[in-house]
Every structure is written in C-alpha cells, then in structure tokens.
Structure 1
Amino acid sequence: MSAIHPSEISFITRHAPFDHMELPHVLWMLQRMRLGYYPEGEVIVSPEQGPVDRFLVIKQGMVHGEQSVAHASEADTWLELSEGECFPLGALLANRRVASVYRAGNDVFCYELSATDFRELIGLSAAFRDFCTRRIANLLEHSKQVIQAQYSNSSVEQQSLASPLSTIIRRTPITCPPDMTVRQVLKIMHEQQVGSMIAVDEDGRPLGILTLPDVLERIALPQIDLDQPVINVMSTYLETLTPQALAHEAALTMAKHGFRHVLVVENEKLVGLVSEKDLFALQRVGLRQIGSAIRHADSIEVLQQGAMDIRNMARNMMAQGVAAEQLTQFISTFNDLLTVRVVELEFAASDLAGTPLLNGVCWMALGSEGRFEQTLNTDQDNAIIFDTPQGMTADQAREKLLPVAKRINEKLAMCGFPLCKGEIMASNPQWCLSLEEWKQTFSGWIRGGTPESLLYATIFFDFRALHGAQHLAEDLRLWLARVASDNSRFLYMMAENALRNRPPLGVIRDFVLNDSDRIDLKLNGITPFVDAARIFSLATGVTHTNTVQRLRLSAAKMNLPTSEIEAWIDALLFIQVLRLRHHDESSAKGLSEDALDNLIDPASLNELDRRILKEAFRQARKAQAKLRLDYQL
C-alpha cells in the first residue's frame, strides 16, 4: 500500500470521530481509502445505485442531500455536508440503498472506504463503532466536554447527576421493626453513627423513617415516652425511587418537598437510602436550601433572592456538565416553587382566603414552563381555571379573582419573570376561566382552525397545574386528549402551520440567517421539535406536556424506531444547551432577564458546535418530514 502523507493524517484527525480513534486504526483506514473526485452537479450516491458500497469522508467541497432527483434547490435539499463530514452511515449500517440523492454542490473530493473495510473498521475501533451507531449522541458528548471545560476546571471525579441511584448508595440502610421502642432505636442510631432509621415490615417494605431533626422536634422537645413503638413518631409519608432512577430525580424530589433523604426501593423492598449529602457533597449545590428558603419565604425580598439563587444554581450546574434536559427541569421545578409561593402569599393576603371560590381555583403554567423547559430567558405565561361556586356566576367569580391574579403577575415580574407582552397571563380576563369556559374556548379553537386559534393552541395546549384545585386541570387535559385526537382536520391544520417554520439550513451556505445575520435558536431550532411533539401527542392521546416525553411516548404508539426518536431528542437538547450558554454569557455581560434573546451568530461557534448545529437542524427537518408524511402535506 502507498505511504500516507502527514497532511492526510493531520486533516482526518481534525474531525470527529477520527479525532477520538487510536492512531493505528486511523492509519489502517487511510491505507485502504482512495480519493474520489466529483464535478459540480454529479450524483455521488443515489437509490438507483443499489445497496451502498462505500463510506465517504469529504476532503474538499460541498455535498447536497436531495429528497428528489432534481438538482439542488431550497425546496428539495434537506441536508448539506461539508469538509470533514462523512456519509451515508445509516444505509451502510443497514446494508441498504440510500433514501436520498447525494450530489456534488461544487467540485468535491472524497476519501472513500469500501463497505467491506468499513465493517471491518467498526470491529477494530470502538470509537468509530460508537460514532457510527450513535452519531449525533457521540458528537454531543464531544461538545459537552468542550462546554464543561469552558465553564469549569472542576475534577472529572465529581458525582454526576446523571448517575443511577444504584451507584450512589453508600451502605446498606439501618432498619428496625415498627414495634421497636424509641429508646432502642436512639441507642442503635448512636452506636451506628447514622442520621436516620427506617422501619420495615417482615418483607422488607419501608413503613416509616426517623431522622436526627425528627429526634429534636418529635422526641426531645415534646419529652415523649421513649418506650412506645418508634413507628408512632416516624414520618410515614415516604418518597421512594427505583435503583434505576437518576440522581437528578432524587435531587428534584428533595428540593420540591424539603426532604433530606429518598428511599430506594425495588419490588417494594428497601434496598438503599440516598441522602442530600450523598448527592451534593461533591456538587456543592445546595438545592434543598434554596427550595426551603423559597417555600418558607414571607416577603418579596426573600423571593427575589430565591430567584437569584435559582439562576446561580443553573450556572453552577452548567459548570458541572449537567445535561440540558435535567437542567431545564431543575430550573422549571424551582420556578414552580417560587411561583407557587407567590400565589400562596397573595391569595392568603386577599379577602378570598377560606372561601369556597378559592378552594376551587387552580393556577396553571403555560408554554415553556408548562413543558418543564424553561431557560434563564422566560417571561410569564399563566392562566387560572376555576370551579364556579354555587350561587355565583363565572363572571362574578372572575371579578373577584382578577385583582389577586394581577398582584401575582406583578410580584412575579419583580422576581425576574417579565410580564408577557402578549398578555398571556391570569390577570387577563380572557385567561381566567371556569372549567366549562376553557372547554368551550378550546372547542372553538379546534373547530375554527384560524391562524389565531392555531397560535393559541401552541401556547395553551401545553398547560400544567401548579397550585390549587389540580383536578380541574386534569379534567381539562383528559377532555382535550380525547377531543383533539378525534379531530383530524384540526391536527392537519396544526401540522400545516408547523411546517411553515423551516429549520434554517442553506444550500449555498451552511445556515440561512435572518435580517440581523443571526439564527433564532428558539423559533427556528426548538420550536420545530416542540410543534411536532405536540401534534404527535394530540394525535396519539399522550397527556404529557414535556417535549421529550411527548416524543418518546408518541413514538411507541406510532411505531417509530427508538434510534430515530433519540436522535431528534439529542438534537433538541443540543440546541437547548446553546440557548442556555447564550443566556448565561449575555447575563454575564450585564443584560437583564427581559433583555436576553435567542439570537446567535453561527460564525461565533467553534467548528464542532457548528457541525452539531447543522446536524440538529437536519434532525428537525426529519421530524417535520414525518409530519408531512402523516398529513400528506
């Protein structure tokens, strides 16, 4: 075989996955590659050529992927590949024809490896195999390492919030029977130097827990009889998770309820105990403390500090490499806590406290908060659903609720959640409605299908109960799932509307920029996935509001391959990471929350992130292609 020039090694190892492959494997590949040339307009690979016979890496030029045999145009080009990118992986792995035509956009040179050598290389190189089978996930892992390095020099030994609880459990939990005396339990806790004791039945099922703070509050201060059964003084409201649950789920549970421990249970049997110390000794993130301060806040000043703590927490988590899906859930969960506390304080201070009306009121989150997808840049989208008390009309109930809702909206604005410019807020009489009025409103949108109705559907159909009479929101959710799935015309119009927002991939250049020469990551990047997931969930009767959950649960009912859905999810989460970074960097420059935007210049990104962003937009187009196919658009 001919000698390999150093420039070839230098070129190939600048690009993923070759930059992570062992050098002997890279040399093995290069020795078997030949250089192919394709003039502008020539077809490189097409379905007519039969099963793919070679793996290609672009050395120079641009390759267009087309959904038809026509020459590349904005209408039919669905992907654009540039220097260092490789194709067509899916067809090679499946030993099938390509689904698209790959055509030279200009003069193109490609390194080419035979299909036989490609498969042998997969067996030789674990890094290459991982990339080929998990392409976008692998690229994202590369990017995550870069991001984490940018934010923090912290040790790689830090505990990951993505770890399963089974890897965090430090020791077998200390247990006792429920009829053991308090005196005996305290003696064992002292001898074993543990901060908690769990009562279990004969089958190992947890019944209650006693912690050191309980000893002071329930035993020492009341000076109870120490010879009574310990179960009498234990907390019997237990939060349990499985060993497979992730650390971030335990952290959310602790933060939301103010607990210091979460029980780990498998097949109803206690197998472990995870404490706040276990989760955050290395993380240095005091989630429970932030949550506790918000839950017990009695003034707007304390809540404003809580809002600042939430943003600092988000920044710390980004430094520790917490994934976007988990991070946005954390932000949304803590914003929920803050919102709920504002609602509680304002309703308690109003003349509605203790009235039948207030007992039948539910405060709802809409939009990104309703989907558990908030970032550092979020305004208010909220509404009220109420049960009209006997002897009152809906208008009379609304008249009493609106002044309180206005004060809540104003207090939230003081905490860093700007008032919605479109007035999608509970203080707007249009969005403070009884259950029956909400059903009538939703029915009107579903029947009408006007541009305004479709816009409202994208906001309000993502509602989620935050505080109060949550059964009203649950009733509305189940009703909507049933009614929407039966209305194919409305879903068709939603799909048609969603497809008007095309991901900004160009033909002549990598990206299509707006008038300010930037890309709107939310409108053009996040929204295509969110819209597709909403339509899929409505069509299949899925009641979750979170986009990732909607995609996963809908996919199962639509018989979509798991690998395809996970690629969409990875792409969505990468764009979310870019948004979070952009918001954080803007905040660091002194911009206020209401001045943050979602506009980035792709030229400001490093080469890896630009490449992944292109791949993410291609995945958005694939999600839209599924919509187009389902609704024949």
Structure 2
Amino acid sequence: MPGSATDGARTMADKAMALETRGTCAAETPPMDRLLSTLVREPVTCLPDASIASVLQTMHRYAIGSIVVVDQEQRPIGIFTLHDLLSRVALPQRNLTEPIAQVMTRDLTTLPPKATAYEAALAMVRHGIRHVLVVDSGRLIGVISEKDLFSLQRVSMRQLSQDIKNADSLESLKQFSAEVRTLAQSMLVQGVAAEQLTQFIASLNDLLTQRLIDLEFRQEELGAIRLCWLALGSEGRLEQTLSTDQDNGIIFEPPAGTTPEAVRERLLPIAKRINLALDACGFPLCKGDIMASNPQWCLSAAEWRAKFAAWIDSGSPEALLHGSIFFDFRPLHGESRLAAELRAWLMSRVCTNRRFLHQMAENALRNRPPLGFFRDFALDGSGEHRDTIDLKLNGATLFVDAARILSLQTGVPATNTAQRLRLSADKMGIDRDEVESWIEAFYFIQRLRLRNQHQQNLHGKPMGNRINPYALNRLERHILKEAFRQAKALQARLALDYQVAGSG
C-alpha cells in the first residue's frame, strides 16, 4: 500500500500472481502494462493554416495514417486521419487549398506519458477511435495508434468493440460475448491490473448489452415513450468480474395522456426478451429477479422517486438491501437524462438524511473482515464452505459498501468504488495516501477473485468467489491480510463518523 511497509511487497505479490496465472518464471512487464512513454512514436504535426494538399503530401511522404494539428507551442488542437480524408475531403469534394483546420477532428482523446497501453486501448474502445495523443503539461509528445497496440495484443480490442456494434443477430453477439471472456482471461494471464481489467470487461459488456437492446427496440414502435435502460450492481459500478449475473432496470417517461401502467405493459415483453438474450450471451438471469422484466423495476421516473423515498424513509433491512443494489444505477441505453435527473434528486434527498446514512453504516459494519486473533484468517467452520472465505462478500463488499455511504454523504454522483473513494475523500479532506491504500487493497482482492474464477473455469468448475487463503503463497497471504486490515481501517472511519457502537 502507498506509504506503508507493504508497498514493495504488494508489487511483488501482483507479479507473483500474474506469473502463477501464466505458469511461467519470466518476470517481464506484461506488454499492455507498459507505459506510453516507452511506446510513443514521434508525432508528425502541422499548423492549422497548412493547406489540405500540403498535409496530404506530408502524410504520403512519411507513410502515416494521421497527422496532429498543433499551435505554435506544440499544443494539440486537432487530428486529421485517413477517415477524415474520405468523409470530409474526398466525398464532399473540398478544395485542397483550404486550411486543414476546416476538416480536422477537434474532439481529441489524450493521456499522460505515465498512462499504460491498456489505458490507451480502453480509451479507444470507449470512444471508438484509432489514435490517442500523449500529452505532457499540455504539449504533444507523441501518438499511440491502434496498430501500435495491436503489435502488443494479439486480439484487437477496438475491432472486437466494432464487431459488437455492427452485430446483426443474437448468434453473432453470443460469439462476441465468448470472445470478450477469452480476451479478459488473456489480459488476466498477462498480469493486467484489476482496475483496468474490470473496466475493460464492463465496457465491452456495456457495448454488447447496448447492441442487444438496439436489435430488440428496432423491431418495436414505441412512439413518444422516453426510456433509459439502467445497469445496476457490479455492472453499474463498472466492476464486473469473469462471473457475473445481470442486474438491470428501466426508467421511463410516459407520454402525455398515457399512464405508467400502459407504458409498463408495452415495455415488459421487450425487457423479457432482452433479459433472455443476455442470459444466452453468458449473463445468467438474476436469482433475485432484479431485472427490467420484473414490473417492480420497470418504472416511471415518478415511481422510481417514490420507491427510493420509501426505502430512505423506512430504513428497514429490506430497504437497506435494496439500497446496496439500486443506489449503484448507471444509464446504459436510451435517455440518460432520466437517470441523471433521478441521480440528482436522490443525492439531494440522501446527503442530508443523517438517520438513513447512519442505518446504512450500521448495516455495512455488520459485515466484518475475516480476520481472527493475532490477525490470522477467520474461516468458515462447517458445511460445504468449510475452511474458506468469500472474497466478494467478506472482502470486496466491505469497500463497496463504505464507498457508497461516503459518496452519498458527500454528494458524489460516481458509482465506481475507486472513484467514490477518491472523490469523497477529496471533499472530506482525507489523506490521499490513506485513500490509495484502501483502493489498492480493494483491487488486490478483486484480482484474487479474477484469478480464482479463471482457474475454476480452466478446470471446468463453476466460477465463484470462495478460496482457502492458506492455499495462497506466503507473500499473497501477507498482502491479503494487509488488504483486510485496510478494510478494517476504512470501517473504523465509518464507525467513527456515524458513531456506530461495537464496531471496533
């Protein structure tokens, strides 16, 4: 953890876990974990007043597919690519004497030199682009292209995302879903950090779900109905692992003169087909029926506000359980405005409700890190799970629950656990090193979960979250104990903030 004696040990443990997963003794940096500063190629640039003709001559001379447009101080203001040449110059038959500024792409995606190749690949997947600019203190120092990353990664992540977007059938999406899982396991084997890996999984799963919804809705005539498909739970937090079911809902806005019941009756059959299609793609139906095809979770904006208000006012165990799932909602498809407005209303309703936040904290603190006397592990003592611990319930969830409460308290709208902790801590004046220790502990546990699921899958076993910590090597056990200690420290802060007795 940063600022602690275990900092070096944690790094060594991450490497050891990656090496064990790969089944090799090599200690090289995984290719996609390399810093962009070690990969970046010298940029070819031009000024905004350069003519289109001169820019094309430069691109031809250097045999490149893009050129960055910069100002006099080497600050990037645009990029011109072969795609721009076709769509903005050739097809419209633009005059080649015009300045390149007239046809360049102005919406740039940039990363710092210390970012990794995976962060660049993730940006390409999310934004559907082929080039990322590497910028230091506002000045351009290089360009990373999809081709550069492809040389490091055998599977083109952007190509997979494009294939998903262009899929025209459920059968195609089932195939691409399997490829997402294969790619995720390949990334795990290469030693990719858990934070990046879970975001990759969630981002590609988002694209797949969005395409499924597109295919279903294009067959329907919904008229003036405005709706948004909501991702809940781990998907809402962008924290999906290799084994994840589906949690989702719908928020809609009934057209004038139409009742919520009538809209719901129209949407439920479509939602059912989407849920079944997701199941066919490897996202099992939720055992608790937290799905958009359940009438309870296909609601108008007013009904969602009433539902949340009832949970907040009640504070019952069931209400607190629902809070742990539904407070993590994120818009996935459709009118994101509806989700944003619900989030704004929810934050204003909760952040001043000290009683409800206290109840949430009290409920979260009932789940303790599995540490026994002398800081040894406290294992389940009987039944089919004897001598194991649940890395999700008694590990990751400790951080997820605390981060949710802190974000509600501080009015932070983010749903991702790491983002919630960082942004809430900034507002609360918590030391950054302390926060990063919590986050690294959380992602160490997440990586253990991912590796465990990968190994279970390799051996044809159901993927789950239980491990025997004594099956880990000594270094990993040490780091896992430290991770649980960090969870205990985070819970201690929560207990102090909300004066929860008996939680030390």
Residue of structure 2 equivalent to 1:169? 40
Residue of structure 1 equivalent to 2:495? 628
Q: Per-residue displacement from partner, 1:306-335 (whole Å, max 9, x unpaired)?
A: 111111111121122111111111111111
Query: Is the 1:520–1:598 contact (alpha carbons within 8 Å) kept by the matching residues of 2?
Result: yes
After TM superposition, give the deviation of residue 496 of structure 1 in Å.
0.8
Q: Per-residue displacement from partner, 1:177-225 (whole Å, max 9, x unpaired)?
A: 24513x3222111112221123345565545433234445555577665
Residue of structure 2 equivalent to 1:286? 156
Q: Is it true that 1:329 corresponds to 2:199 in the alignment?
A: yes
Q: Is it true that 1:319 corresponds to 2:178 in the alignment?
A: no
Q: 1:238 to 1:577 in 2, by over 3 A?
A: same
| CA distance in 2 between partners of 1:136 and 1:589 (Å) | 33
Q: 1:499 to 1:155 in 2, by over 3 A?
A: closer
Q: Is it true that 1:619 corresponds to 2:489 in the alignment?
A: no
Residue of structure 1 equivalent to 2:341? 475
After TM superposition, give the deviation of residue 347 of structure 1 in Å.
0.8
Q: Secondary structure at the match of 1:392?
A: coil
Residue of structure 2 equivalent to 1:421? 287
After TM superposition, give the deviation of residue 407 of structure 1 in Å.
0.9
Q: Secondary structure at the match of 2:425?
A: helix
Query: Is the 2:233–2:326 contact (alpha carbons within 8 Å) kept by the matching residues of 1?
Result: yes
Q: Is it true that 1:541 corresponds to 2:411 in the alignment?
A: yes
Residue of structure 2 equivalent to 1:82? none
After TM superposition, give the deviation of residue 495 of structure 1 in Å.
0.8
| CA distance in 1 between partners of 2:29 and 2:496 (Å) | 46
Q: Is it true that 1:405 corresponds to 2:271 in the alignment?
A: yes
Query: Is the 2:330–2:339 contact (alpha carbons within 8 Å) kept by the matching residues of 1?
Result: yes
Q: Per-residue displacement from partner, 1:71-129 (whole Å, max 9, x unpaired)?
A: xxxxxxxxxxxxxxxxxxxxxxxxxxxxxxxxxxxxxxxxxxxxxxxxxxxxxxxxxxx
Question: How many pairs were matched up?
Answer: 494
Q: Is it true that 1:199 corresponds to 2:69 in the alignment?
A: yes
Where do residues 528-567 of structure 1 align in structure 2 (5 Å cutoff)? Answer: 528-567=398-437
Residue of structure 1 equivalent to 2:28? 156
Q: 1:394 to 1:448 in 2, by over 3 A?
A: same
Q: Secondary structure at the match of 1:135?
A: coil
Query: Is the 2:252–2:300 contact (alpha carbons within 8 Å) kept by the matching residues of 1?
Result: yes
Q: TM-score, normalised by structure 2?
A: 0.92
Residue of structure 2 equivalent to 1:502? 368
Greater relative contact order (Cα 8 A, min sep 6): structure 1 or 2? 2
After TM superposition, give the deviation of residue 628 of structure 1 in Å.
1.3
| CA distance in 2 between partners of 1:619 and 1:132 (Å) | 12
Q: 1:409 to 1:162 in 2, by over 3 A?
A: farther
| CA distance in 2 between partners of 1:230 and 1:605 (Å) | 58
| CA distance in 2 between partners of 1:552 and 1:236 (Å) | 30
Q: Per-residue displacement from partner, 1:501-520 (whole Å, max 9, x unpaired)?
A: 11111228832222321111
Letter matched to residue 177 of structure 1: P
| CA distance in 2 between partners of 1:613 and 1:501 (Å) | 17
| CA distance in 2 between partners of 1:529 and 1:474 (Å) | 24
| CA distance in 1 between partners of 2:350 and 2:170 (Å) | 40
Residue of structure 1 equivalent to 2:233? 367
Letter matched to residue 288 of structure 1: R
Q: Is it true that 1:608 corresponds to 2:475 in the alignment?
A: yes
**Unpaired runs of at least 5, structure 2:** none
Letter matched to residue 497 of structure 2: D
Query: Is the 1:137–1:567 contact (alpha carbons within 8 Å) kept by the matching residues of 2?
Result: no
Q: 1:379 to 1:499 in 2, by over 3 A?
A: same
Q: Per-residue displacement from partner, 1:279-327 (whole Å, max 9, x unpaired)?
A: 3422334111111111111111211111111111111211221111111
Residue of structure 2 equivalent to 1:125? none
Q: 1:161 to 1:403 in 2, by over 3 A?
A: same
| CA distance in 2 between partners of 1:132 and 1:212 (Å) | 44
After TM superposition, give the deviation of residue 271 of structure 1 in Å.
4.2
Residue of structure 2 equivalent to 1:377? 243
Query: Is the 1:342–1:411 contact (alpha carbons within 8 Å) kept by the matching residues of 2?
Result: yes
Query: Is the 2:2–2:437 contact (alpha carbons within 8 Å) kept by the matching residues of 1?
Result: no
Letter matched to residue 461 of structure 1: F
Q: 1:132 to 1:195 in 2, by over 3 A?
A: closer
Q: Secondary structure at the match of 1:210?
A: strand
Q: 1:508 to 1:156 in 2, by over 3 A?
A: closer
Match of 1:356 among 224, 239, 249: 224
Query: Is the 1:178–1:207 contact (alpha carbons within 8 Å) kept by the matching residues of 2?
Result: no
Query: Is the 1:536–1:551 contact (alpha carbons within 8 Å) kept by the matching residues of 2?
Result: yes
Match of 2:355 among 489, 492, 496: 489
Q: Is it true that 1:523 corresponds to 2:393 in the alignment?
A: yes
| CA distance in 2 between partners of 1:390 and 1:203 (Å) | 54
Query: Is the 2:47–2:72 contact (alpha carbons within 8 Å) kept by the matching residues of 1?
Result: no
| CA distance in 2 between partners of 1:305 and 1:137 (Å) | 41
Letter matched to residue 209 of structure 1: I
Residue of structure 2 equivalent to 1:392? 258
Q: 1:509 to 1:486 in 2, by over 3 A?
A: closer
Query: Is the 1:159–1:279 contact (alpha carbons within 8 Å) kept by the matching residues of 2?
Result: no
Query: Is the 1:148–1:321 contact (alpha carbons within 8 Å) kept by the matching residues of 2?
Result: yes
| CA distance in 2 between partners of 1:618 and 1:214 (Å) | 53
Regions of 4+ moved over 6 Å: none
| CA distance in 1 between partners of 2:138 and 2:471 (Å) | 52
Structure having the higher Rg: 1
| CA distance in 2 between partners of 1:409 and 1:373 (Å) | 20
Letter matched to residue 489 of structure 1: R
Query: Is the 2:51–2:96 contact (alpha carbons within 8 Å) kept by the matching residues of 1?
Result: no
Query: Is the 1:176–1:185 contact (alpha carbons within 8 Å) kept by the matching residues of 2?
Result: no
Q: 1:402 to 1:178 in 2, by over 3 A?
A: farther
| CA distance in 2 between partners of 1:349 and 1:178 (Å) | 47
Letter matched to residue 460 of structure 2: G
Query: Is the 2:32–2:152 contact (alpha carbons within 8 Å) kept by the matching residues of 1?
Result: no
After TM superposition, give the deviation of residue 270 of structure 1 in Å.
4.2
Q: 1:238 to 1:133 in 2, by over 3 A?
A: closer
Residue of structure 1 equivalent to 2:13? 143
Which one is further off, 236-245 or 390-399? 236-245
Letter matched to residue 356 of structure 1: A
| CA distance in 2 between partners of 1:331 and 1:506 (Å) | 34
Query: Is the 1:178–1:199 contact (alpha carbons within 8 Å) kept by the matching residues of 2?
Result: no
Query: Is the 2:43–2:67 contact (alpha carbons within 8 Å) kept by the matching residues of 1?
Result: no
Q: 1:447 to 1:132 in 2, by over 3 A?
A: closer
After TM superposition, give the deviation of residue 363 of structure 1 in Å.
0.9
| CA distance in 2 between partners of 1:136 and 1:391 (Å) | 63
Query: Is the 1:285–1:316 contact (alpha carbons within 8 Å) kept by the matching residues of 2?
Result: no
Match of 1:305 among 145, 165, 175: 175
Letter matched to residue 167 of structure 2: A
Q: 1:157 to 1:463 in 2, by over 3 A?
A: closer
Residue of structure 2 equivalent to 1:14? none
Percent identity between the aligned chains?
Answer: 53
Q: Per-residue displacement from partner, 1:250-273 (whole Å, max 9, x unpaired)?
A: 211211232110234466654432
